[in-house]
Amino acid sequence: MSHHQHPIVTAQMYQQLLANNDIYFVAFDQAEQILATNYPVSSLQLKCLDDLVFLIGHTNIEGLRAYILNPTSALSFTVANLVFEVIRLSDPQEPAVFALQIQSRDALADEPKLSVIEQDYKIINELASSLSMLTSAPQSQMPESLQQEVRNKHLPEVEKRLQQLQDPMLRMCLEIVKSSMTSLINDAPSMNAQLLQVLTPSELQVAEFIRGGMSSKDIASTLNVARKTVENHRNSLRNKLGITNRGVNLKNYLLGLQQK
């Protein structure tokens, strides 16, 4: 007599169901280790909270750490077109598990179109081969054949995709990828490669937004920081770049560096 085996509903199926409804999550424990996620970024490895800095910034990561220590009050915030909410999933009798729920404002508005987050991360996933090449490329004495591959295939593809991205943080990350590729095929380091040597990550992030034409108010809103913090970064940029004349437009100066 044969026994009928009932199908099993797996965790992956639940994750797919959420993703189909534009709901993404990153689950983590009190030790800040990532336990599970359905975030559509197969080319990036999410292992701990610090790996989310590209998505939510340092300030919000510190907010997550504070929530882990005291999860009694709700925590939610927005970055660009994304809405984040943190909840505690586990039973009080079990070790705590937290989930960072991520939705696009488009999805929350029930607009019948592909969410911006899916569009952007589809673009990132399509660049998987180029990103993989960059991480495995030798830092010195790159073979001419590989330089030609970067010059003729990977760099043009990154430049093309850069124009399609809408999320400002992902644009900044891809700008750095572009600069790294440029430095691999040029004798002189590119503009961003030079800035990476003297600017902090926060200053570099603000510099990218300024080059993109964003105002201090918009940058503060995107990074979820005070406008005064952005102004301090602007002043630090001017000091480190040697811009003593206050009449010099910082955006034009940064764009000029890119073209040199």
- Note the pLDDT of residue 188: 43
> Going residue by residue through the chain (260 aa), what tens digit of pLDDT does each one get?
455 555 554 556 555 656 555 678 888 888 999 888 877 765 567 888 888 887 888 888 998 998 888 887 778 888 877 888 998 876 667 788 888 888 877 655 554 555 677 777 777 777 777 777 666 666 556 677 777 887 788 888 888 888 887 777 677 777 777 777 777 776 544 455 556 667 787 787 788 788 778 888 888 887 788 899 999 999 988 888 888 787 788 888 877 775 54
Structural domains of the chain sorted by starting position, each given as residue range(s) with its CATH number in brackets: 11-108 (3.30.450.20), 116-259 (no CATH)
List strands edge to edge, sheet with 75-79: 34-37, 24-29, 97-104, 82-88, 75-79
Query: Furthest-apart CA pair in the chain: how many Å?
Result: 89
Pair of tokens at residue 171 = 């644009």
- Note the pLDDT of residue 9: 47
Angle, vertex CA 130, rays to CA 127 and CA 132, nearest 5? 105
- Note the pLDDT of residue 90: 66
